[in-house]
Chains A and B, each alone.
Chain A
Amino acid sequence: MLDRETIGIIGIGVLFLLLMLRMPVGLAMLTVGIGGNYFISLAMPAFKFAPFIKQFKTLLWGVVGNYDLSVVPLFILMGFLASHSKLSSDLFRGFNALVGRFRGGVAMAAIGACAGFGAVCGSSLATASTMGKVALPELKRLKYAPRLATGSLAAGGTLGILIPPSVALVIYAVIVEASIVDMFQAAIVPGLLAVVFFIVVIWVSVRLKPDLAPNVAKLSKQEFRTAVWRLLPVLTIFGVIILGLGLGIFTPTPAAAFGATVIMLYGLFLRFTGLAEGLTNEGLKNSILSTAVTAGMIYFILFGAEVLKIFFARAGLPAALSEWAVGSGIDPWGILIFMLIALIILGCFMDSLAMILVVIPFFWPALVELNGGDWVTAESAAFGMDIANLQIWFGILALIVVELGLITPPVGLNVFIISQMAKDTKMAEVFKGVMPFFGIELVRVALLLLFPILALYLPNILSG
């Protein structure tokens, strides 16, 4: 009979095989989790199968009714309400009124709007497609080079994953048992850094090649005033949500529920005062239904991951990986960089949430061991920080590289979406446009690796 580690490794192989055969991710995790537990009970009679199956009495309820995860559907609903209230176009038009008159300014406005809207919306793909709809026509009208226009939008779409409120950060925090508030605080500086870097990329590109952005946006006084007036409330609402969560002023669940309420009321206000279309009945209904699809998908994967986790733990895989990592004699930094590269590559093929749920439970215990164990002090740790800080730092790094997968050839989902919207621009052209942003993202990862303080400063001064 096989030993349990071997069964675990076979389980991973089967999981990838099933995923390649287009089995839904949650179902594949459950199949391998339940099947694997059965085989382990055959190999090791001490791990009985019946008690495992009996956990299904309350396991699903426990996952869905977990208070920490209650922010997830609320954030998602908030994002769809903002989408259906068409706040994205207010954001873009407002920023455009402010900076569109500079060379490359319209693309910069798109980056700013992507960051703000992406943070609240939480889905990279939805941000890319929503902002694409709003900003692409304007960029085209002003004859921006398709490469710059589409590249900025595809890259801009990834900005929101990290900036709070972030569903991915919540899920990461739940997996490694970190504080959600700490993670949000840590994400603020690296998130804003990306926005600044992207704007710098555009600025430098149009300096070097002015014909990338031949025209600037000219608005009449009236248009300018309307755009700015419409920007203010959206900026206030989004700003309060992002900074309130990022600085740890609000606790996540009430903030998500209240944020969703405010956005819904503002959408209804726009509609009933006739200022804009705002949130229609259809929009409200579609917001809820879209939330149901996204949240249902996430819960199914979360549940699958929970069952898979039991299997992997019984197979002793995380422990075996940690032992291997420590015993291999490879430099801890080398292993960390290897993990990040693995995440970028997997990110090209897998859904980012599924990836966080499957991969992080392996990487995290190995990192803890490499760092020197659970009780290591910052002075004697391999990465020079204690466990609490390592959780935060690694989470931010992991999330950045996961979002990189969305703009990495050959798959890059964001690139795919944008090239579908800009019908006359080839996908290869969009990839070319994305490359400078990809490059600066690697610089951001390197900076975070060299200066962990960028992520750790805020949580350490705010939470003590």
Chain B
Amino acid sequence: MIHRIAAFWALLGGGVLIAIMAITSLNIAAYVADYIAETWGGNVYGTTGYEDFVALAIACAGMMFLPYCQAMRGHVVVDVFANLMGQTVQRLLDKLWLVLIFCLALFLAYWMTLGMLEVRGDNALTAILGWPVWPSYVPGIASLLLWALVTSSQIFESTPQDA
């Protein structure tokens, strides 16, 4: 269940990436159209504040990928010395790292919430578009909570499923 929510959340993040792709293509089309229109003295405008938009959108998309990455056990580990440890030790360590990740995700969610309140209090705006920055923190915080949730379900899983 949680696994599916994480997958859905990641797909939403992918939707954000596709939005970036669409805006970029639109801008390039506008640039080309402008180049052609110039020969007749015309003008075609692309959207402004491209970098602003991309930074905000990527911040959302990137964070939204984290829970699914956890669900798939996508975080890299160095496997070389694993064989030297017994199965039980490995499993125990695995659980211990999961507990740490769980704490870390909550720790980050807490501080990012404080960060959001601060950014909102400062009324921080993006440089060109003048959009407020704080709403882009919301999916980030939600992602961290979902990450913690995914991890907690893995802590109580009886058989670790390695992806």
Using CB atoms and an 8 Å cutoff, list the residues of chain A in contact with chain B.
19-27, 30-31, 53-54, 56-58, 60-61, 64-67, 69-70, 73-74, 77, 253-254, 257-258, 260-261, 264, 285, 287-289, 291-297, 299-301, 349-351, 354, 411
In angstroms, Cα B82 to Cα A411, docked, is 13
Q: Write out the residue numbers on chain A whose beta carbons fall within 8 Å of the beta carbon of B25.
A: 257-258, 261
Closest to B89 in A: A21
- Residues A64 and B10 in contact in the complex (CB < 8 Å), given A19-B78, A257-B25, A291-B65: no
- Residues A258 and B21 in contact in the complex (CB < 8 Å), given A57-B114, A67-B55: yes
Q: Write out the residue numbers on chain B whose beta carbons fall within 8 Å of the beta carbon of A354.
A: 76
Return A394 CB to nearest CB of chain B, in Å: 24
In angstroms, Cα B58 to Cα A65, docked, is 6
In the complex, the answer to whether A61 meets B137 with C-beta atoms within 8 Å is yes
Identify 20 new A-B residue pairs, CB closer than 8 A, beyond the known A57-B118, A65-B58.
Answer: A22-B77, A22-B97, A24-B97, A26-B75, A30-B104, A56-B115, A58-B119, A65-B56, A65-B136, A67-B54, A73-B17, A253-B24, A258-B21, A261-B25, A285-B11, A288-B13, A288-B17, A297-B69, A299-B63, A300-B66
Q: Specify which of B10, B58, B79 is in contact with A292 (CB 8 Å cutoff).
A: B10
Instruction: Please tell me if B38 contacts chain A, counting CB pairs below 8 Å.
Output: no
Closest to B75 in A: A24
Instruction: Please tell me if B40 contacts chain A, counting CB pairs below 8 Å.
Output: no
Q: Write out the residue numbers on chain A whose beta carbons fall within 8 Å of the beta carbon of B132.
A: none
Residues 69-91 of chain B, each 1 if its beta carbon lies under 8 Å from chain A, else 0 = 11010111111111001000010
Instruction: Please tell me if B129 contacts chain A, counting CB pairs below 8 Å.
Output: no
Using CB atoms and an 8 Å cutoff, list the residues of chain B in contact with chain A.
7, 10-11, 13-14, 17, 20-25, 27-28, 50-51, 54-56, 58-59, 61-66, 68-70, 72, 74-82, 85, 90, 93-94, 97, 100-101, 104, 107-108, 111-112, 114-115, 118-119, 136-137, 140, 163
Q: Write out the residue numbers on chain A whose beta carbons fall within 8 Å of the beta carbon of B104.
A: 27, 30
* B interface SS class: helix
In the complex, the answer to whether A351 meets B54 with C-beta atoms within 8 Å is no
In the complex, the answer to whether B76 meets A351 with C-beta atoms within 8 Å is yes
In angstroms, Cα B74 to Cα A26, docked, is 11
Q: Give the one of A57, A261, A349 with max B CB within 10 A.
A: A57
In angstroms, Cα B17 to Cα A25, docked, is 26
Q: Write out the residue numbers on chain A whose beta carbons fall within 8 Å of the beta carbon of B81.
A: 20-22
Closest to B19 in A: A257
Closest to A302 in B: B62
In angstroms, Cα B115 to Cα A60, docked, is 10
In angstroms, Cα B64 to Cα A289, docked, is 11
Return A357 CB to nearest CB of chain B, in Å: 11
In angstroms, Cα B119 to Cα A61, docked, is 11
11 inter-chain pairs at a CB distance below 8 angstroms, sorted by A residue, are A21-B85, A22-B77, A23-B97, A24-B75, A25-B78, A57-B115, A60-B140, A61-B112, A64-B63, A74-B20, A293-B69
- Residues A57 and B21 in contact in the complex (CB < 8 Å), given A292-B65, A292-B68, A297-B76: no
In the complex, the answer to whether A31 meets B24 with C-beta atoms within 8 Å is no
Q: Specify which of A21, A58, A301 is in contact with B76 (CB 8 Å cutoff).
A: A301
Closest to B56 in A: A65
Residue pairs across A and B with CB atoms within 8 Å: the count is: 180
In angstroms, Cα B28 to Cα A19, docked, is 44
In angstroms, Cα B98 to Cα A22, docked, is 12
In angstroms, Cα B66 to Cα A24, docked, is 14
- Residues A27 and B59 in contact in the complex (CB < 8 Å), given A64-B140, A297-B75: no
In the complex, the answer to whether B94 meets A22 with C-beta atoms within 8 Å is yes
- Residues A20 and B17 in contact in the complex (CB < 8 Å), given A60-B112, A61-B140, A73-B61: no
In angstroms, Cα B81 to Cα A19, docked, is 9
In the complex, the answer to whether A20 meets B58 with C-beta atoms within 8 Å is no
In angstroms, Cα B120 to Cα A58, docked, is 12
In the complex, the answer to whether A299 meets B55 with C-beta atoms within 8 Å is no
Return A237 CB to nearest CB of chain B, in Å: 14
In angstroms, Cα B85 to Cα A295, docked, is 30
In the complex, the answer to whether A65 meets B112 with C-beta atoms within 8 Å is no
Closest to B77 in A: A22
In the complex, the answer to whether A25 meets B75 with C-beta atoms within 8 Å is yes
Q: Specify which of B7, B50, B65, B115 is in contact with A295 (CB 8 Å cutoff).
A: B65
Return B7 CB to nearest CB of chain A, in Å: 6
In the complex, the answer to whether B69 meets A254 with C-beta atoms within 8 Å is no
In the complex, the answer to whether B59 meets A64 with C-beta atoms within 8 Å is yes
- Residues A57 and B111 in contact in the complex (CB < 8 Å), given A288-B17, A292-B65: yes
Return B69 CB to nearest CB of chain A, in Å: 3
Return B88 CB to nearest CB of chain A, in Å: 14
Closest to A70 in B: B58
Q: Give the one of B50, B51, B77, B81 with max A CB within 10 A.
A: B77
Return A168 CB to nearest CB of chain B, in Å: 14
In the complex, the answer to whether A20 meets B78 with C-beta atoms within 8 Å is yes
In the complex, the answer to whether B82 meets A288 with C-beta atoms within 8 Å is no
- Residues A349 and B112 in contact in the complex (CB < 8 Å), given A70-B55, A293-B68: no
Q: Write out the residue numbers on chain A whose beta carbons fall within 8 Å of the beta carbon of B114.
A: 57
Q: Write out the residue numbers on chain B whose beta carbons fall within 8 Å of the beta carbon of A66.
A: 55, 58
Q: Write out the residue numbers on chain B whose beta carbons fall within 8 Å of the beta carbon of A65.
A: 55-56, 58-59, 62, 136
Return B55 CB to nearest CB of chain A, in Å: 5
Q: Write out the residue numbers on chain A whose beta carbons fall within 8 Å of the beta carbon of B68.
A: 289, 292-293, 296
Q: Write out the residue numbers on chain B whose beta carbons fall within 8 Å of the beta carbon of A77.
A: 14, 17
